[in-house]
Amino acid sequence: MLIRAFVVVLCLTGGRGLCAQDSPGNRESPRRSPLSPHHAAQLQVSQNGRWLQYEDGKPFFYLGDTAWELCHRLNREEARRYLSNRARKGFTVIQTVVLAEQDGINTPNAYGHTPLLDNDPAAPDVRPGPANDYWDHVDFIIDEAARRGLFIGLLPTWGDKWQSARGGIGPRIFSPKNASIYGRWLGRRYADAPVIWILGGDRNIYDDEDRRIMEAMAMGLRGGDGGTHLITYHPRGPGRSSDYFHEADWLDFNMIQSSHAARDHDNGRFVEHDYALKSVKPTLDGEPRYERIPVGFYLKGADRDDRFDDYDVRQAAWWAMTAGACGHTYGNNSVWQMWSPKHKPVIWADVPWTEALDDPGATQMGHVRKLFERYDYQKLQPDTEFVVDAPDYGGARVRGLRVPDGSLALVYSPRGEQFMLNIALMKQPRTRASWYDPRTGSLSELHTMDSVAFQTFTPPTKGRGNDWVLVLENVE
């Protein structure tokens, strides 16, 4: 399923607001900063509908980081520091928001600028001169990301600006009419940029008005960029975009929010649900449990000192990938909000974002991508028949992927528990087994065996924090 290109012509407003047919100029101005040559190619869905790739067919591994307040709170020097750190660690997508959650409409950014005139989405506050408005700063971040080989997963707005059912700072400013105009304006401004559109902003669909607003924004984006960018939807957690928009033509891939309620919350079940849907689309967990965030912080009686660690985020990543996800997103409680002592902490942030950047979980996300990209990973498929005897529930649940011709298989054991495999399904005369350490990214050969009958594997260590990936390869 390739992305579609089509143009929607809309002119829904008069007066000082934007008209969708307006030519560039004034508030409809194009980006002033140049597009980096590092990202001439855009992204599309692979032919089999399971993965993402560049338009030339080269696989694209979606490894995201949540930086919701990046455009709103950081200055240019800080943004460069953040983006360079994430590029070094192997991330490929930075998820951030234009109209941010922490009063991103009325509280100015680091340079004293706000995004809209009179809180009107049909009137972006665009001013003459370089680096003279909010949008110039967004341009800068997108281009700096591109220079580092990063895509921006760009949320046009956080959910509290369009949907009132779940509260938030707000204000609620969107209607279907201005959502279409705003979407088209954004689409035109970033038509040549390395972005992935992410709608929703941590909100679900509760009524027809909610649906009309999101569909209008999606169609506006499509009309503005000519269909050159992928679009997905970030639901409230625990939730799935597929529950609301799976059959929508504009939704290119699904996004899950497995959220932050508990340890060992099996986000792989969310992926399995989407993978089994009749209309095939890629899926990934766009907001799993964050490193450093208090476990179940939104539940009554939550202990603010009991926080998710690197093992928790690692387990979520490997569970999702071995269930069939096309990528994964990491998050850190201090980094998403770019917290420093000058800001009021949200959800009990306790370490400045500059320090939290190097928490171990972030580095370990790069090891996920490293292993998959070592192989022709887009041939891998979830395989429940391959794993014949292993823990199948709770925090120790074992999952596996296998290429149908048996040339490669990956099996993840979250607690280092023993498991049995039907090696005959490798379909090769000889198979090499190795252990991959998700903590360090090291691969150690175990042995070579005949690809017959059943084989039991015992990981090198066992217990919480001792997760291992078994790699099986055709010897030839």
In this predicted structure, what is the pLDDT of residue 28? 52
Write the pLDDT tens digit of every residue in 353-404: 999 999 999 999 999 999 999 999 999 999 999 999 999 999 999 999 999 9
DSSP 279: S
List strands edge to edge, sheet with 442-450: 381-382, 399-402, 408-413, 468-474, 430-437, 442-450
Tokens of 475: 């010897």
pLDDT at 27 over 80: no
CB-based contacts of 15, cutoff 8 Å, min separation 6: none
pLDDT recorded at residue 465: 97
Q: Average pLDDT over the chain, rounded to whole?
A: 92
**How far is residue 149's CA from residue 58's CA, in Å, rounded to a whole number?**
14
d(CA 29, CA 130): 12
Residue boundaries of the structural domains of the chain: 26-375, 380-474
pLDDT band, very low/low/confident/very high, at 252 (cuts 50, 70, 90): very high
Residue 38 pLDDT class (50, 70, 90 cuts): very low
Q: Which of 33-42, 209-218, 234-243 comes out lowest in average pLDDT?
A: 33-42
Stretch 78-87: mean pLDDT: 98
- Tens digit of pLDDT for each residue in 142-186? 999 999 999 999 999 999 999 977 678 889 999 999 999 999 999
pLDDT at residue number 277? 98
Give the other-Cβ count within 10 Å of 110's Cβ. 16
Percent of the chain with pLDDT over 90: 88
User: How much is the average pLDDT of 131-137?
Assistant: 94
User: pLDDT value at position 23?
Assistant: 35
pLDDT of residue 11: 37
Pairing of strands 254-257, 283-285: parallel
Could you report the per-residue pLDDT of 282-292, keeping only the tens digit for each? 999 999 999 99
Q: pLDDT-derived band of residue 31, with 50, 70 and 90 as boundaries? A: low
Given this model, what pLDDT does residue 30 score?
A: 57
Instruction: State the fold for domain 26-375.
Output: TIM Barrel (3.20.20)
Per-residue pLDDT for 253 more than 50? Answer: yes
Instruction: Just give the CATH number of 380-474.
Output: 2.60.40
pLDDT tens-place string over residues 319-337: 999 999 999 999 999 999 9
pLDDT for 36 equals 46
Beta-carbon contacts of 384 under 8 Å, excluding residues fewer than 6 positions away, are: none
Whether residue 57 has pLDDT greater than 90: yes
Question: Is it the case that residue 3 has pLDDT exceeding 50?
Answer: no
List all residues 6 or more positions away from 176 whose beta carbon is below 8 Å from its beta carbon. 209, 212, 213, 215, 216
Q: What's residue 15's pLDDT?
A: 33
pLDDT tens digits for range 296-316:
999 999 999 999 999 999 999
CA separation for the pair 134, 140 (Å, rounded): 10
Distance CA 334, CA 73 (A): 13
